[in-house]
Every structure is written in structure tokens, then in C-alpha cells.
Structure 1
Amino acid sequence: MDVFYYALVGLLLAGYLALESVDFGIGMLMPFADTESGRVRMRRTVVPLFLANEVWLVAFAGLLFGALPLLEGELLYALRLPLLAVLGAWFLRDAALWFRTAHPGVGWRRTWDTVLPAASLVLAVGWGAVPAMLIRGLSTNGDGHAVAGPADLTHPFVLLCAVLAVAGSLRQGSLFAARGLPEGDALRVRFGRLTRVLTPILLVLLLLTAAAGAAVTDAPVAVGLVGVLAAAGVYGSDRVQATGRTGPALLLGAAPLAALPLMVGVANGTTVLATRSGKGSLELSRAIADSASLALLSVTVLPVLVAVVLGQLWIWRVFARAPR
């Protein structure tokens, strides 16, 4: 039961990153639309979906608090600076999507058109860096607590994962935004060109991430295999997209973002918060809630999670269709 809930927490985070990669990408690609009609169209592609996608993050945080309460406190302490940056960017990104149409002024719209790609970039970088630091293991302060220090934030592996998240999100955004544009449309041509450029770059980044991840962890084979499988997903996405099936291409293309939480699990096993020195690490047996709490979660939270998944499928089926 302990491993089940730990895996479920990771699955929710992976689902959030896989879905939100589309939103991150479209936000960063907003400058590609050089006309007002193009910017409006791009915004409309993501507005019906981003709140539904964020439900996965809310579910992740809620289950983390309920099933692994000690881990949540330790994570918030250890990662407070990068999480604060992610939280601020999250608020600004959502504000940009909502507030852009609240006032007709040109300056007002341009302001939010600048905030949206900047905040989306910070979100992609942050959600690439945070799992990478957990994969590698955090530093330890003088009090014996795990912390993310400057050396952790700027380590080459962490920076590589941040770039990987940005490239993966850009590719997802370009695929999703282009799907309903007419043949020959200038914006569709730009997105198609960007997708073709990003695909080999992303494959190289994934292989580098697999090699670097294998070098900085004690589970090199497992971490490397996850990276290689994610690269296979991107390659498959490219092959499927060539046949015109954007839906399956998006599903396979989400592999790079979804792979990062998976790498955390395979790298550290049942050590739910790892440090490089071993001091301040947190084992699953200590972090998990008591059996009574887990039993309550099983009869209350799990049915809700099933409903969330079914609702998500319905929302994407209805609102993610290519515009006519």
C-alpha cells in the first residue's frame, strides 16, 4: 500500500506535466503569432484546457499531503526557492490568459502578451529543474535538512533537464496549435518548421539526459532506460505525426515531461527524498501516513481520482478538437 500511494503521487505529477506541456508550449509560442487574430486563436486553443490540466496538480498536492504528509513538508522546505518561482509564474501565466481580454487597450494586451511567454518559460524551466534536483539528490544544510542550494540549481544535469522541458513543451505546443490551421497558413508553416527543427534536438537532449542521469545516480541502467524510452516516444510521435494523426503524436510527444517524475522513482527507489550525503534523506516508511489515514483515502480520494480522469478525457474530447 505504501508503494502504491507513492507511485500514485508520482503518476499524478507525470500526468500534470504531460498535459501542461501543451499549455507551456503554446504560451511560449505566442510571439510567433504576429497578428491579433493569430494571438486570439492561439489563446483560444488553450483556455478551455489549462484549468482542467491544473486539476492534476491540485490532486497531486492533495494526495501528497494526505498520503505522504512528512514528505510534503520536507519538499516545501528544501525546494522553497524554485517552488516559489514556479508558483509566481503559475499565477502570472493564468492571469495573462484571463486578463488579456479584460480591457480593450492595445498596451494592456501587449503587456499580457509579454507576460504569458515569459511566465510559461519559467514554468517549463522550473518543472524541468525540480525533478532533476530530486533525481540527483539534494544538498544538506548545517541542521541536517535537505535543501536545494545554488550548486543544485546550477548543476549541468539540472540545467539539461530544464532545457529538455522547454524543448519538449515547445514541440507539444507547436503540434497542438498547428492542428486546426488551414493548409498553407503562415502560422501553420512556422509551427511545422519549428516541430521539424525541435524533433532531432529533443532526441539528442533525451539521450544526453539519459547518459547524464545515469552518471549522477546509483541506478544508471534504470534511469538511462527511462531516457531512452522517452526518446523512442518522441521518435514515434514524429512518425505518427507524418501520417496526420496529431492526437497520438501528442500523446507520444509528452514522454519527455512525463519521464522526469518517473526518473525520480527509479533513481531513488523507496527513498522519497534523497540527499547526496545520505544525511537528511527521507525513507518511504517514515514519510507515509498511518494505516487508518490510508484506508480513509482509499474510500474517499481514489473514487474522486477516477472521476477526475474520466472528466479529463471528456474535456479533451470536447474542447481539444481542431477548430473548423
Structure 2
Amino acid sequence: MDVFWYALVGLLLAGYLALESIDFGVGMLLPLADTEPGRADMRRTVVPLFLANEVWLVAFAGLLFGALPLLEGELLYALRLPIVVLLSAWFLRDAALWFRSAHPGAGWRRSWDIVLPVTSLVLAAGWGAVLATLVRGLSLHGNGQAVATAADLVHPFTLLCAALAVAGSLRQGSLFVSRNLPRDGALSVRLGRLNQALTPALLVLLALTAAVGAAVTDAPVAVAVVAALGAVGVYVSGLLRSAGRTTAALLLGAAPLLALPVMVGVANGTTVLATRSGEGELALSRAIADSASLGLLTVTVLPALIAVVLGQLWIWRVFARTTA
């Protein structure tokens, strides 16, 4: 059962990244719209969805606290700098989506049109960097606690995974926006060209991730297999897009984002917080909550998660329809 709860926490994070990658991508792509109506249209494609997508992050944090309370505290300490950056970018990104249309002034809208792509880029790259750091293993602080140092956050593998998350989000955003644009429009053409370039770029990034990840982890085969599966998802997604099956392409296009949290699990196994030296690590058996707490979670959280999934399906069915 311990592994079940740990896997469920990871599944919630993977679901958040898969869904929010669309929002990150649309935000980063905003500068491609060179007219005010075009920018407004792009923003409107994600406004009905982004809060529902963020529910997965809230659920992840809540279940992490309930099922793995010791791990949450250790993560907050080890990743305190990137977490502050991610939270700040999250608040500003949401503010840009909400406040851009709250005032008619051109300067007001231009300011938020800068904030939205920048914070979306920080969020996508930040999540890629955080997960890469966990895959590779943390450093050891002088007090014996695991911590992500500045060197960890700029390691080549970390930067590679950050680029992978950014490229994957851009591709997902371009696919999603294209569903709601006239096929012969200038913006649709630009997004199509970008998407064509991103597909091979993602395949290269995944190949590099497999190679470098295999060199810096103790589970080279498992990490390489996960990256290879991500590459298969991207390749098949490209074929589906060419066949006009955009929804299926979006589903498989999330593979690079899903690969990152999966790599954390396959690289470290039941060591839920790994260090490169092996000291200061946290095993699942120590991090898991007591049986009484897990029993309470079983009767409260699991039904709520089912309701969240059903609600998410309804929201996407209603608000993510293709209009062009």
C-alpha cells in the first residue's frame, strides 16, 4: 500500500503537468499573435480551463501532506529556492490571465502580455529543472539534509530537462490553439510551422535526455526506456496531427511532460528523496503516514479524486471544443 500512495501522489503531479503544459505553451506563444483580437482569442482558449487544471496541483500538495508528511517537509527545505520562484511565477501567470482584460488601457494590456509569456516560460522550465534535480539526486547540506544547490539547478541534465519541458509545452500549446483557429489564417500557419519544427526538436531532446540521464543516474536502462517511450509518444502524436486527429495528438503529445515525473520514480525506486552521496536520503517506509491516517485518506480522498476526474472531463468537454 505504501507504493500505491506514493504512485498516486506522482500520478497527480503528472496529471497537472500534462494538463498545464497546454496553458504554459499558450502563454509562451502569445507573442506570435500580432493583433489585439488574436491575443485576446489565444488567452480565451485557456481561461476556462487553467483553474481546473490547477486543481491537480492542489490535490498533489494535499495528498503529499496527508500520505507522505515527512517528505513534504524535506522537499520544501531542499527545494525552497525553486519553489519560491515557481510560486511567484504561478501567481503572476494567473494574474495575467485574469487581469489583462480588467482595464481597457493599451499600456495595461501590453504589460500583462509581457508577464504572461515570461511566467509561463519560468513555470515550464522550472518544473523541468525541479524534476531533473530529483532524478539526478540532491546535494548534501552541511547539516546533513538534502538540498538543491545552485550547481544542481544549472547542471547539464537539469537544463536539458528544462528545455524538454519548455519544448513539450510549446508543442502542446500550438496544437491546442490551432484547433480553434481558421486553418488558412496567418496565426494558424505560424503555429503549424512551429509545431513541425518542435516535433524533431523534442525527439532530439528526448534522445539526449536518455543518454545523459543514463550517465548520471543509477538506473540507466529504466531512465532510457522512459525517455524512449516519450519519444514514441511524440512521434505518433506527429503522425496523428498530420492525419487531422488533433485531440489524440494532444493526448500523446503530453508524453515528454509525463516522462519527467516517471523518471523520478524509476531512477530512485522507493527512495522518495535521493541524494547523490547516499547520505541524508529518505526512504518510503519512513516517509509514509501511519495506517490510521492512510485509512482516513482511503475513505475521503479517493472518492474526491474520482469526482475531480469526472469534473475535469466535463469541463474539457464543454470548454475545449473545436470552434474552427
The TM-score, its normalising length taken from structure 2, stands at 0.99
Alignment of 1:286-301 (within 5 A): 286-301=286-301
State the partner residue of 2:38.
38
- The Cα offsets for residues 185-236 of structure 1, whole Å up to 9 and x where unpaired, read as 0000000000001100010001111111111111111110000000000000
Partner residue in 1 for 2:310: 310
**Equivalent residues in 2 for 1:162-181 (5 A)?**
162-181=162-181
Confirm or deny that 1:283 pairs with 2:286.
Answer: no
1:151 Cα offset (Å): 1.1
Q: SS at the partner of 1:182?
A: coil
- Does residue 137 (structure 1) correspond to residue 125 (structure 2)? The answer is no
- 1:52 corresponds to which residue? 52
- What is the distance in 2 between the residues matched to 1:43 and 1:8? 31
Matches within 5 A, 1:3-22: 3-22=3-22
Q: Work out the percentage of aligned pairs sharing the same amino acid.
A: 77
Shift of 1:77: 0.2
Alignment correspondent of 1:107 = 107
Q: CA deviation at 1:49?
A: 0.5
Q: Deviation at 1:323?
A: 2.1
1:240 equivalent in structure 2: 240
How big is the shift at 1:55?
A: 0.2
CA distance in 2, matches of 1:155, 1:320: 38
Structure 1 consecutive aligned stretches of length 4 or more whose deviation exceeds 2 Å = none
Aligned positions of 1:220-259 closer than 5 A: 220-259=220-259
Separation in 2 of the partners of 1:183 and 1:285? 54
Shift of 1:150: 1.1
**Matches of 2:24 and 2:210, distance apart in 1:** 23
Query: What does 1:83-232 align with in structure 2 at a 5 Å threshold?
Result: 83-232=83-232
Q: Does the residue aligned with 1:48 lie in a helix, a strand or coil?
A: coil
Letter in 1 for 2:23: D
Gaps of 5+ in 2: none
Match for 1:117: what amino acid?
P
Give the Cα separation in 2 of the matches to 1:265 and 1:207. Answer: 19
Aligned mates of 2:184, 2:126 — CA distance in 1: 35
Amino acid at match of 2:271: T
Q: Partner of 1:28 in structure 2? A: 28
Deviations, residues 252-301 of structure 1 (Å, cap 9, x unaligned): 00000111000000000000000001111000000000000000000000
Letter in 1 for 2:100: R
Task: Give the partner amino acid of 1:244.
Answer: G
- Look up the SS of the partner of 2:7 in the other structure: helix
Distance 1:86 1:183 in 2: 35
Aligned partners of 1:23 and 1:292: how far apart in 2?
A: 38
Higher mean alpha-carbon deviation, 163-172 vs 175-184, is at: 175-184
Query: Does residue 66 in structure 1 map to residue 69 in structure 2?
Result: no
Residue 180 of structure 1 and its aligned partner are, at CA, apart by 1.7
Shift of 1:183: 2.1
Question: Unpaired segments of 5 or more residues in structure 1?
Answer: none
Structure 1 residue 34, shift from structure 2 partner: 0.4
Provide TM-score, normalisation by structure 1.
0.99
Equivalences, count = 324
How many Å separate the matches in 2 of 1:318 and 1:242? 25
